Amino acid sequence: MEARVGETFYKRVWIFYLPLLLFLVLLLFPFYWMLIASIKPDRELYDLTANPFIVRKVTFAHWWYLLSETLFPRWMVNTLIVAVASTALSLFCGVLAGYSLSRLKFPGSATIGVSIFITYLVPPSLLFIPLADVIKNLHLLDSPLALILSYPTILVPFSTWLLMGYFKTIPRELEECARIDGATRFQAFYRIILPLATPGILSAGIFSFTLSWNEYLFALVFLSSPDNKTVPVGVVSELIKGDVFFWGSLMAGALLGSIPVAVIYSFFVEYYVSGLTGGAVKG
Protein backbone atom coordinates (compact mmCIF):
# COMPACT_ATOMS: atom_id res chain seq x y z
CA MET A 1 0.00 0.00 0.00
CA GLU A 2 2.77 2.43 0.94
CA ALA A 3 4.66 1.55 -2.25
CA ARG A 4 1.56 2.32 -4.32
CA VAL A 5 1.06 5.65 -2.56
CA GLY A 6 4.70 6.57 -3.13
CA GLU A 7 4.49 5.61 -6.78
CA THR A 8 1.35 7.74 -7.20
CA PHE A 9 3.09 10.69 -5.53
CA TYR A 10 6.13 10.48 -7.81
CA LYS A 11 3.92 10.21 -10.88
CA ARG A 12 2.05 13.29 -9.79
CA VAL A 13 5.34 15.15 -9.27
CA TRP A 14 6.68 14.26 -12.72
CA ILE A 15 3.42 14.62 -14.62
CA PHE A 16 1.85 17.63 -12.89
CA TYR A 17 4.03 19.57 -10.43
CA LEU A 18 7.31 19.63 -12.37
CA PRO A 19 5.75 20.82 -15.69
CA LEU A 20 3.73 23.39 -13.73
CA LEU A 21 6.89 24.63 -12.03
CA LEU A 22 8.70 24.96 -15.36
CA PHE A 23 5.72 26.80 -16.82
CA LEU A 24 5.64 29.24 -13.90
CA VAL A 25 9.38 29.89 -14.22
CA LEU A 26 9.05 30.63 -17.94
CA LEU A 27 5.97 32.78 -17.32
CA LEU A 28 7.40 34.85 -14.46
CA PHE A 29 10.97 35.18 -15.74
CA PRO A 30 10.24 38.28 -17.92
CA PHE A 31 8.79 40.06 -14.89
CA TYR A 32 11.82 39.09 -12.80
CA TRP A 33 14.16 40.32 -15.51
CA MET A 34 12.34 43.67 -15.80
CA LEU A 35 12.44 44.07 -12.02
CA ILE A 36 16.16 43.42 -11.57
CA ALA A 37 17.03 45.53 -14.63
CA SER A 38 15.04 48.45 -13.22
CA ILE A 39 16.89 48.43 -9.87
CA LYS A 40 20.43 47.93 -11.19
CA PRO A 41 22.84 50.86 -11.53
CA ASP A 42 23.93 51.69 -15.06
CA ARG A 43 27.45 50.43 -14.36
CA GLU A 44 26.10 47.05 -13.33
CA LEU A 45 23.68 46.92 -16.27
CA TYR A 46 26.52 47.20 -18.78
CA ASP A 47 29.00 45.01 -16.89
CA LEU A 48 29.27 41.86 -19.04
CA THR A 49 31.41 40.06 -16.46
CA ALA A 50 28.79 40.25 -13.70
CA ASN A 51 26.03 37.71 -13.10
CA PRO A 52 23.01 39.15 -14.98
CA PHE A 53 20.48 37.42 -12.70
CA ILE A 54 21.70 38.96 -9.44
CA VAL A 55 21.57 42.54 -8.20
CA ARG A 56 24.67 43.52 -6.25
CA LYS A 57 23.68 47.10 -5.48
CA VAL A 58 20.06 48.20 -5.50
CA THR A 59 19.16 51.64 -6.82
CA PHE A 60 15.83 53.33 -7.44
CA ALA A 61 17.24 56.08 -9.64
CA HIS A 62 15.61 54.60 -12.74
CA TRP A 63 12.21 54.55 -11.06
CA TRP A 64 12.69 58.13 -9.83
CA TYR A 65 13.64 59.28 -13.31
CA LEU A 66 10.61 57.54 -14.84
CA LEU A 67 8.08 58.93 -12.38
CA SER A 68 9.50 62.44 -11.92
CA GLU A 69 11.42 63.33 -15.08
CA THR A 70 8.95 61.92 -17.62
CA LEU A 71 5.19 62.13 -18.09
CA PHE A 72 4.67 58.48 -17.20
CA PRO A 73 1.86 59.14 -14.65
CA ARG A 74 0.04 61.15 -17.33
CA TRP A 75 0.58 58.34 -19.84
CA MET A 76 -0.93 55.85 -17.40
CA VAL A 77 -4.02 58.01 -16.98
CA ASN A 78 -4.36 58.46 -20.75
CA THR A 79 -4.00 54.72 -21.34
CA LEU A 80 -6.56 53.92 -18.65
CA ILE A 81 -9.10 56.37 -20.06
CA VAL A 82 -8.65 55.10 -23.61
CA ALA A 83 -8.77 51.43 -22.60
CA VAL A 84 -11.85 51.76 -20.39
CA ALA A 85 -13.78 53.94 -22.85
CA SER A 86 -12.99 51.81 -25.92
CA THR A 87 -13.74 48.60 -24.01
CA ALA A 88 -17.11 49.93 -22.81
CA LEU A 89 -18.03 51.08 -26.33
CA SER A 90 -16.94 47.77 -27.85
CA LEU A 91 -18.86 45.71 -25.29
CA PHE A 92 -22.01 47.77 -25.79
CA CYS A 93 -21.91 47.22 -29.55
CA GLY A 94 -20.73 43.61 -29.24
CA VAL A 95 -23.47 42.58 -26.80
CA LEU A 96 -26.26 44.07 -28.93
CA ALA A 97 -24.85 42.76 -32.21
CA GLY A 98 -24.05 39.31 -30.79
CA TYR A 99 -27.52 38.93 -29.30
CA SER A 100 -29.22 40.11 -32.48
CA LEU A 101 -27.27 37.75 -34.72
CA SER A 102 -27.72 34.76 -32.43
CA ARG A 103 -31.40 35.22 -31.51
CA LEU A 104 -33.12 37.21 -34.25
CA LYS A 105 -33.74 35.70 -37.65
CA PHE A 106 -33.71 38.18 -40.50
CA PRO A 107 -32.52 38.11 -44.11
CA GLY A 108 -28.74 38.12 -44.33
CA SER A 109 -28.09 37.41 -40.64
CA ALA A 110 -25.74 34.50 -41.41
CA THR A 111 -23.87 36.56 -43.99
CA ILE A 112 -23.47 39.44 -41.56
CA GLY A 113 -22.10 37.06 -38.92
CA VAL A 114 -19.49 35.66 -41.32
CA SER A 115 -18.63 39.17 -42.53
CA ILE A 116 -17.99 40.32 -38.96
CA PHE A 117 -15.61 37.42 -38.39
CA ILE A 118 -13.78 38.14 -41.65
CA THR A 119 -13.47 41.80 -40.62
CA TYR A 120 -11.71 40.68 -37.43
CA LEU A 121 -9.09 38.91 -39.58
CA VAL A 122 -8.11 42.11 -41.38
CA PRO A 123 -4.68 43.27 -40.07
CA PRO A 124 -4.80 46.60 -38.22
CA SER A 125 -1.82 47.73 -40.28
CA LEU A 126 -4.16 47.90 -43.29
CA LEU A 127 -6.83 49.86 -41.42
CA PHE A 128 -4.81 52.70 -39.96
CA ILE A 129 -4.22 54.35 -43.36
CA PRO A 130 -7.92 55.02 -44.17
CA LEU A 131 -8.64 55.57 -40.47
CA ALA A 132 -5.95 58.25 -40.32
CA ASP A 133 -7.73 60.12 -43.11
CA VAL A 134 -11.07 59.84 -41.30
CA ILE A 135 -9.57 61.01 -38.01
CA LYS A 136 -7.92 63.93 -39.78
CA ASN A 137 -11.20 65.01 -41.40
CA LEU A 138 -12.90 64.86 -38.01
CA HIS A 139 -10.14 67.06 -36.53
CA LEU A 140 -9.36 64.45 -33.86
CA LEU A 141 -5.64 63.99 -34.46
CA ASP A 142 -3.47 64.14 -31.33
CA SER A 143 -6.47 63.46 -29.12
CA PRO A 144 -7.32 60.40 -26.98
CA LEU A 145 -10.76 60.49 -28.60
CA ALA A 146 -9.09 59.38 -31.84
CA LEU A 147 -8.04 56.12 -30.17
CA ILE A 148 -11.38 55.67 -28.39
CA LEU A 149 -13.17 55.78 -31.73
CA SER A 150 -10.54 53.79 -33.64
CA TYR A 151 -10.02 50.82 -31.34
CA PRO A 152 -13.61 49.53 -31.68
CA THR A 153 -12.89 48.84 -35.35
CA ILE A 154 -10.69 46.01 -34.04
CA LEU A 155 -12.54 45.14 -30.84
CA VAL A 156 -16.19 45.09 -31.96
CA PRO A 157 -15.77 42.26 -34.53
CA PHE A 158 -14.08 39.96 -32.00
CA SER A 159 -16.50 40.83 -29.20
CA THR A 160 -19.48 40.26 -31.49
CA TRP A 161 -18.10 36.95 -32.74
CA LEU A 162 -17.33 35.70 -29.22
CA LEU A 163 -20.65 36.81 -27.71
CA MET A 164 -22.64 35.52 -30.67
CA GLY A 165 -21.32 32.04 -29.97
CA TYR A 166 -21.86 32.43 -26.24
CA PHE A 167 -25.46 33.60 -26.58
CA LYS A 168 -26.18 30.50 -28.66
CA THR A 169 -25.29 28.30 -25.68
CA ILE A 170 -28.09 29.87 -23.60
CA PRO A 171 -31.29 27.84 -24.06
CA ARG A 172 -34.02 29.70 -25.87
CA GLU A 173 -36.59 28.12 -23.53
CA LEU A 174 -35.49 30.42 -20.69
CA GLU A 175 -36.25 33.47 -22.76
CA GLU A 176 -39.48 32.02 -24.11
CA CYS A 177 -40.73 31.27 -20.60
CA ALA A 178 -40.09 34.88 -19.62
CA ARG A 179 -41.96 36.07 -22.69
CA ILE A 180 -44.92 33.83 -21.81
CA ASP A 181 -44.97 35.31 -18.29
CA GLY A 182 -45.42 38.76 -19.81
CA ALA A 183 -41.87 40.05 -20.10
CA THR A 184 -40.86 42.01 -23.16
CA ARG A 185 -37.88 40.93 -25.23
CA PHE A 186 -35.75 43.65 -23.68
CA GLN A 187 -36.78 42.61 -20.15
CA ALA A 188 -35.97 38.98 -20.89
CA PHE A 189 -32.66 40.03 -22.37
CA TYR A 190 -31.79 42.31 -19.46
CA ARG A 191 -32.97 40.12 -16.57
CA ILE A 192 -32.18 36.62 -17.86
CA ILE A 193 -29.79 36.57 -20.80
CA LEU A 194 -27.29 39.17 -19.60
CA PRO A 195 -26.69 37.57 -16.14
CA LEU A 196 -26.14 34.18 -17.77
CA ALA A 197 -23.78 35.71 -20.34
CA THR A 198 -21.57 37.36 -17.71
CA PRO A 199 -18.56 35.03 -18.30
CA GLY A 200 -18.68 35.68 -22.03
CA ILE A 201 -19.02 39.44 -21.56
CA LEU A 202 -16.09 39.48 -19.13
CA SER A 203 -13.99 37.45 -21.57
CA ALA A 204 -14.68 39.92 -24.36
CA GLY A 205 -14.05 42.81 -21.95
CA ILE A 206 -10.69 41.44 -20.79
CA PHE A 207 -9.59 40.88 -24.38
CA SER A 208 -10.70 44.36 -25.41
CA PHE A 209 -9.05 46.02 -22.41
CA THR A 210 -5.77 44.15 -22.95
CA LEU A 211 -5.63 45.01 -26.64
CA SER A 212 -6.50 48.65 -25.99
CA TRP A 213 -3.91 48.92 -23.22
CA ASN A 214 -1.07 47.43 -25.28
CA GLU A 215 -1.93 48.81 -28.73
CA TYR A 216 0.99 50.64 -30.33
CA LEU A 217 0.43 51.33 -34.04
CA PHE A 218 -2.70 53.51 -33.87
CA ALA A 219 -1.38 55.37 -30.81
CA LEU A 220 1.90 56.07 -32.61
CA VAL A 221 0.16 57.41 -35.73
CA PHE A 222 -2.66 59.41 -34.15
CA LEU A 223 -0.87 60.95 -31.14
CA SER A 224 2.10 63.29 -31.35
CA SER A 225 2.30 65.53 -28.26
CA PRO A 226 3.91 63.98 -25.14
CA ASP A 227 0.93 64.97 -22.96
CA ASN A 228 -1.50 62.81 -24.94
CA LYS A 229 0.61 59.70 -25.46
CA THR A 230 -0.20 56.30 -24.02
CA VAL A 231 2.22 54.08 -22.11
CA PRO A 232 3.42 51.88 -25.04
CA VAL A 233 4.22 54.90 -27.21
CA GLY A 234 5.41 57.26 -24.48
CA VAL A 235 7.87 54.83 -22.91
CA VAL A 236 9.47 53.99 -26.25
CA SER A 237 9.55 57.51 -27.69
CA GLU A 238 10.71 59.36 -24.57
CA LEU A 239 13.18 56.82 -23.14
CA ILE A 240 15.02 56.07 -26.37
CA LYS A 241 17.09 59.03 -27.54
CA GLY A 242 18.70 58.13 -30.85
CA ASP A 243 20.97 55.20 -30.08
CA VAL A 244 20.82 55.74 -26.29
CA PHE A 245 18.49 53.39 -24.43
CA PHE A 246 17.52 54.18 -20.85
CA TRP A 247 17.25 50.49 -20.04
CA GLY A 248 16.55 50.85 -16.35
CA SER A 249 13.67 53.27 -16.85
CA LEU A 250 12.43 51.30 -19.85
CA MET A 251 12.19 48.15 -17.76
CA ALA A 252 10.50 50.04 -14.92
CA GLY A 253 7.95 51.47 -17.35
CA ALA A 254 7.31 48.08 -18.92
CA LEU A 255 6.83 46.52 -15.49
CA LEU A 256 4.44 49.22 -14.28
CA GLY A 257 2.56 49.14 -17.57
CA SER A 258 1.94 45.40 -17.30
CA ILE A 259 0.59 45.47 -13.75
CA PRO A 260 -3.02 46.60 -14.51
CA VAL A 261 -3.52 43.85 -17.09
CA ALA A 262 -2.02 41.23 -14.77
CA VAL A 263 -4.30 42.34 -11.93
CA ILE A 264 -7.40 42.12 -14.13
CA TYR A 265 -6.49 38.63 -15.32
CA SER A 266 -5.83 37.45 -11.77
CA PHE A 267 -9.29 38.56 -10.62
CA PHE A 268 -11.32 37.38 -13.61
CA VAL A 269 -9.32 34.40 -14.92
CA GLU A 270 -12.09 31.91 -14.05
CA TYR A 271 -14.68 33.91 -15.97
CA TYR A 272 -12.23 34.37 -18.83
CA VAL A 273 -11.60 30.62 -19.21
CA SER A 274 -15.31 29.85 -18.82
CA GLY A 275 -16.22 32.39 -21.46
CA LEU A 276 -13.73 31.00 -23.98
CA THR A 277 -14.19 27.28 -23.38
CA GLY A 278 -17.61 26.71 -21.85
CA GLY A 279 -21.24 27.53 -22.25
CA ALA A 280 -23.59 29.53 -20.16
CA VAL A 281 -25.69 26.59 -19.00
CA LYS A 282 -24.26 23.12 -18.53
CA GLY A 283 -26.14 20.03 -17.56
How much is the pLDDT for 6? 58
pLDDT beyond 90 at 82: yes
Closest CA to 238 of 95, 72, 59: 72
User: pTM of the entire structure?
Assistant: 0.83
How much is the pLDDT for 269? 67
pLDDT beyond 50 at 282: no
Q: What is the SS3 assignment for 245?
A: strand
Q: How many CA atoms lie within 13 A of 219 on its CB side?
A: 24
Domain boundaries, the chain: 2-45, 71-277
Give the pLDDT band (50/70/90) at residue 170: confident
* Residues 92-140 pLDDT 10s: 999 998 888 888 877 777 788 778 778 777 787 777 788 888 888 888 8
Q: Which CATH number fits domain 71-277: 3.30.1490.20, 1.10.3720.10, 3.10.50.40, 3.40.50.300?
A: 1.10.3720.10
How much is the pLDDT for 283? 41
Cα-based torsion angle of the residue sequence 19, 24, 27, 32 in order, rounded to the nearest 10 degrees: -140
pLDDT beyond 60 at 276: no
pLDDT beyond 50 at 237: yes
